[in-house]
Amino acid sequence: MIDRIADIVGAKNVLTGPDLAPYSVDISGMRRAVPLAVARPASTQEVSDLVRLANELRLPVLPVGGRTGLTGGGVGEGALILSFDRMNAIRAIRPEARVAEVEAGAILSDIHDAAEAHDLVFPLTFGARGSARVGGFLGTNAGGSNVLRYGNTRDLVLGIEAVLPTGEIVDLMSGLHKNNSGYDLRHLLIGSEGTLGVITAATLKLMPKPGAYATAMVGMKSMSDALPLLNEVQKATGGLVEAFEYMPDSYVGNYLQLSPSHRLPFEDRHPVNILIEIGALAPRDCIPGDDGAIPVVSYLEDLLGRYLENGLIDDAVVARTEAQRREMWARREAASEIAGLQPVRVTNDVAVPLDLVETFLTRADATLQRVDPGATTSVVAHLGDGNVHYTVWPVTTTEAGKDAIVEAIEDIVIDLGGSFSAEHGIGTIKLGSMARRKDPAALSAMRAIKRALDPNGIMNPGKLLPPSNL
Amino acid sequence: MIDRIADIVGAKNVLTGPDLAPYSVDISGMRRAVPLAVARPASTQEVSDLVRLANELRLPVLPVGGRTGLTGGGVGEGALILSFDRMNAIRAIRPEARVAEVEAGAILSDIHDAAEAHDLVFPLTFGARGSARVGGFLGTNAGGSNVLRYGNTRDLVLGIEAVLPTGEIVDLMSGLHKNNSGYDLRHLLIGSEGTLGVITAATLKLMPKPGAYATAMVGMKSMSDALPLLNEVQKATGGLVEAFEYMPDSYVGNYLQLSPSHRLPFEDRHPVNILIEIGALAPRDCIPGDDGAIPVVSYLEDLLGRYLENGLIDDAVVARTEAQRREMWARREAASEIAGLQPVRVTNDVAVPLDLVETFLTRADATLQRVDPGATTSVVAHLGDGNVHYTVWPVTTTEAGKDAIVEAIEDIVIDLGGSFSAEHGIGTIKLGSMARRKDPAALSAMRAIKRALDPNGIMNPGKLLPPSNL
């Protein structure tokens, strides 16, 4: 079997035995499973050959990117792992058409750099951008900090190429903005977490690079003071807010714990800390002030000054240099590191309507103390999307206890009209939630689609779709 | 059978016999098929009951909206037509969340009005907006004139409710911007033309209403002069162009033929006529001019003045009043009426990369004269999307002759990296094109999905998916 894999990709591109160690645990360190082998294909044809072989032999196939996913998707017992590190080309940047053609193994930050060289941006971004690869962020329909302005991954993809579970290659690499020709297999594969096929390449949308950023940290007493700020800036700028991130004081405390030498945003501590970033195109870098149009940084300074005077906020710092801006972002992007301060976490990646985030947090904190007294949290939110990462450091050590926390948080989310799975996907850790919370007719349609496209069930079994007995 | 349908919706909401006449021909007048009956459900539950009954009796089901589609989707032989005229409620406009919750029968222009009352817009628009209904424009993923700025229908839909071919109701009416929980059935149903289920309601995105429009007609010698204009305005305004529409002189001539009293845009005739519209939010109504920020209308006037002086364009009129703006749009939106000047048309709704539209037109015109000497055309394009409506008035009267025209045009489109089906969908008229041009692996995956979700093949049979013997 290994020989036949080696025949396709070459012996030196097949990992087995001790080389499988890094592939046998996921990024959280909490989930382990030993694969059969890792194959490193160099072309779509090799991927096709590998999948065809796996389908013949009924081998489970797990395509992986940077393995930075947070829901247990990165490991698979007995699986043939397809690693895309050799298929990492940025095939083309077409600035006129504002598209990038990339292979599944291209790294997000490399795409950022390639686009910037043409004064364009690929606006998807999150902490793991230096490792995350195309196949991974398409497979999970990754979100991140700029969804508020630019949408999720799927909103940034014009076309894909993929290998179906039969080994057939589908070429849907359109760069066109209008292309209505049958069911949208692109959107079906995006977010399917490798359970319906293997994405091998994509055509991505690029956007004009903002010529000026205005970035600030704002301290205030309660979250109900934050939304009016967001709404006013959105209105004044016509929707140019790129990020609106929430960090409670406990997050700031945790950040200090990570390293006591870290600089804090303010001298005083505040219950609510907001990172706001506006991205203005240079020519549009004019927002009506009292004396006519003013640059976006001055606009934000004036606005926050006014809010301070009126007591609507308690503190504010606007970044004056790129280094200051990066420092603000580093604080926000330490979230996974902070969550990792405790070896055992119960993660809850949820979304609620924007104006109910505060309600959610109040109820979640109270509920948590009832379900698992003494548990602590690391909370951070893409507030502009209503997306809260409510990470619990539990006292309970039993699986049942941890499940009870998840269920209790979900109860609140569902009650508030929210989603139990916002941007990280289902993987293995949310299978119970899918079984409990997803519309049953939708679930059965998903299962029917899975059976239709992957009759032998070889594609990433055990992920995304809960077993029917759950 | 009719009795059982009447049991569900009430006898007075079932049409049969002579009442079926309007439902037996499509809007083009070219395609006829007599349905079994028309049922007018009043609720999602009634739709579910009807589909369940049809599935039991193996009755073909054809959900219809305003029946304004251009690809033959509006008629179905022996079908139980579901008409949504009684399910036309705009259930809610939630201005804070910027969403509209609408039933499948809500009319597009009613949604426009309801959004405007809150200073918001639902930006999807096209000529048939006074008749087109939610289920229709979602089912076909309709495009239109504002795709350039806001995307196609699917980009404007946050959630849907639908009835699957089994009669099961799926509730995916999320208003959230992040909701990764399994396969995206919403995007699978959008654009599936009623072949996978019946969309019964939707949650639509609303956008801030532009506070100022700048609209102009521009006359020039060749299309290669048009793209630099588009690119300059997009750059200066940061992407505020809402529409960039192309009408050749022949279109203007045809428009006069429709009614000789019509006013033309210019005193002189020009080979290329462009309708450009910019939508600026009032606060952003400032674009850097020589003397600081200027309103968007002045910006456009100054720019076109400069283009005129430099001989880059030959003529320009900027609308000074809403009436003038509407007159410009009326001319563009007469396209279907103009196409209807001849009883027999061969329509080609295609897309090519933006910078290849001129190449496409030159090659198409030459090819047409070779394939069907003497044939004339009515051409109009959403130039900003590379989407050309190349309507042929053929000399040939045979089906084979007309097919030859379609195939010849498609050859050019494919050669230029374009799409044979841009925004109108497949219906029945593009089944041959689907069979010839669509990626075969994609087609077989679509067929597998169809069989999985609709094993009895009741949903809109004969549409979208070509029979395997084609």
Q: What is the pLDDT of residues A236-258, one digit of tens each?
A: 787 889 999 999 999 999 999 99
For residue A421, give the nearest of A347, A324, A365 by alpha carbon: A347
CB of B428 within 8 Å of a chain A CB? The answer is no
Q: How far is B465 from chain A (nearest CA, A)?
A: 7
Q: Given this model, what pLDDT does residue A210 score?
A: 85
CB–CB contact B183 A192 (8 Å): yes
A187 interfaces chain B, CB cutoff of 8 Å: yes
Highest mean pLDDT: which range of A143-152, A296-305, A454-463: A454-463
Q: What is the pLDDT of residues B393-427, one digit of tens each?
A: 999 999 999 999 999 999 999 999 999 999 999 99
Distance from CA of A462 to the nearest CA of B (A): 13
Q: Cα B407 vs. chain centroid, distance in angstroms? A: 22
Q: Which of B286, B419, B445 sits opposite A185 (nearest CB)?
A: B445
How close is the nearest chain A Cα to the Cα of B409, in Å?
Answer: 16
Comparing alpha-carbon positions, the chain B residue that sits nearest to A426 is B181
State the average pLDDT for chain A.
Answer: 94
Q: What is the pLDDT of residue A235?
A: 80
> Average of pLDDT values for A297-309?
93
- Greatest alpha-carbon pair distance for chain B in Å reads 74
User: Which pair of structure tokens corresponds to residue B124?
Assistant: 């999807």
The CA distance from A1 to the nearest CA of chain B, in Å, is: 27
Phi-psi region of A6 (alpha: psi -120 to 50; beta: other; left: phi over 0): alpha
Chain B 121-160, CB below 8 Å of chain A: which residues? 140-141, 143, 147-148, 151-152, 154-155
B175 at A interface, C-beta within 8 A: yes
> Could you read off the pLDDT of B426-456 as tens digits, one per residue?
999 999 999 999 999 999 999 999 999 999 9
Confidence of residue A151 (pLDDT cuts 50, 70, 90): very high
- Which residue intervals of chain B bear CATH 3.30.70.2740? 342-437
Mean of pLDDT values over A205-219: 92
CB nearest to A418's CB, from B176, B351, B424: B176
Residues of A with Cβ-Cβ distance to B421 under 8 angstroms: 179-181
Query: CA-CA distance, A386 to A17, in Å (whole number)?
Result: 44
Residues of A in contact with B442 (CB under 8 A): 170-172, 182, 185
More confident residue, A262 or A147: A147
Size of interface A-B (CB pairs under 8 A): 256
pLDDT of B285 > 70? The answer is no
Q: Domain B2-83 belongs to what architecture?
A: 2-Layer Sandwich (3.30)
Task: Give A280's pLDDT tier (boundaries 50, 70, 90).
Answer: confident
Least CB–CB distance from B187: residue in A140, A184, A464: A184
Q: What is the pLDDT at residue A282?
A: 53
pLDDT at B96 over 90: no
Q: Which CATH architecture group holds A90-208?
A: 2-Layer Sandwich (3.30)
Output the CA angle B303-B304-B306, nearest 5 degrees. Answer: 65
Residues of CATH 3.30.43.10 domain(s) within chain A? 2-83
pLDDT, position A436: 95
Can you give the pLDDT at residue A396?
97
Chain B residues with beta carbon closer than 8 angstroms to that of A422:
176, 178-180
Chain B residues lying within 8 Å of A187, measured CB to CB: 154, 184, 187-188
> Which of A76, A69, A45, A50 shows the shortest CA–CA distance to A201?
A45
**Cα dist. A263→A258, A328, A329, A330, A331 in Å?**
12, 10, 12, 11, 9
Nearest C-alpha in B relative to A156: B155
Q: Mean pLDDT, to the nearest integer, of A381-386?
A: 95
Put simply, whether B172 touches A (Cβ < 8 Å) is: yes
Subunit contact A178:B387, Cβ cutoff 8 A: yes
Q: Chain B neighbours among A 217-276 (CB < 8 Å)?
A: 235-239
Cβ partners under 8 Å of residue B9, min gap 6: B39, B40, B41, B42, B46, B50
pLDDT at B458 over 90: yes
**β-bridge mates for residue B98, sequence order:** none
Q: Provide the CATH topology of domain A342-424.
A: Alpha-Beta Plaits (3.30.70)
∠ Cα A409 A415 A418 (to 5°): 75
Residues of B within 8 A of A45 (CB-CB) are none
Strand partners, A391: A378
pLDDT of residue A212: 85
Q: Which value, to the nearest 10 degrees, does the dihedral of the CA atoms of residues A110, A116, A120, A125 take?
A: 50
Calculate the alpha carbon distances from A32 to A405, A428, A433 in Å. 22, 11, 21
Q: How confident is the model at residue A374 (pLDDT cuts 50, 70, 90)?
A: very high
Is A449 within 8 Å of B452 when comparing Cβ atoms?
A: yes
User: What is the CATH architecture assignment of A212-335?
Assistant: 2-Layer Sandwich (3.30)
A-chain CB neighbours of B293 within 8 Å are 286, 288, 292-293
Residue B3 has pLDDT above 70, yes or no: yes
| Cβ-count burial A398-421 (b if 16+ within 10 Å, e if not) | eeeebebbbebbbbbbeebebbbb
B165 has pLDDT over 70: yes
For range B297-312, the mean pLDDT: 94
Q: Whole-angstrom Cα distance, residue A367 to residue A350?
A: 16
> Dihedrals φ, ψ of A191, to 5°?
85, 5
Chain B: give the shortest CA distance to residue A204, in Å.
15
Q: Give chain B positions within 8 Å (CB) of A454.
A: none
Chain B residues within 8 A of A236 when measuring between CB atoms: 283
Touching check for B418 and chain A: CB below 8 Å?
Answer: yes
> Mean pLDDT over residues A330-348, rounded?
93
The CATH 3.30.70.2740 portion of chain A extends over 342-424
CB environment A88-115: b (16+ within 10 A), e (fewer): bebeebeeebbbbbbbbbbbbebbbebb
Of B171, B187, B286, the CB nearest to A293: B286
Name the A residues in 108-127 with CB < 8 Å from any B CB: none
Rounded mean pLDDT of chain B?
94
pLDDT in tens, B10-58: 999 999 999 999 999 999 888 999 999 999 999 999 999 999 999 999 9
Best residue in A180, A234, A426 for a mutation probing chain B (most B CBs within 10 Å): A180
Contact B365, B387 (CB under 8 A): no
User: Counting beta carbons within 10 angstroms of the beta carbon of residue B356, is it exposed (0 to 12), middle (13 to 18) or buried (19 or more)?
Assistant: middle
Which fold is adopted by the domain B342-437? Alpha-Beta Plaits (3.30.70)
Taking the C-alpha atoms of residue A324 and residue A332, their distance in angstroms, rounded to an integer, is 13
What is the strand order of the sheet B376-382 is part of? B315-318, B212-220, B272-280, B241-248, B376-382, B387-393, B349-351
Q: What is the pLDDT of residue A289?
A: 46
Q: Where in chain B is the domain with CATH 3.30.70.2190?
A: 212-335
Test A154 with B178 for CB contact under 8 angstroms: no
Cα angle A45-A48-A53, degrees, rounded to a multiple of 5: 130
- Chosen for mutation from B152, B160, B181, B389 (greatest number of chain A CBs closer than 10 Å) is B181
**How close A143 gets to chain B, by Cα (Å)?**
7
B76 in contact with A at a CB cutoff of 8 Å?
no
Q: CATH 3.30.465.10 in chain B, residues?
A: 90-208
Section A402-414 average pLDDT:
97
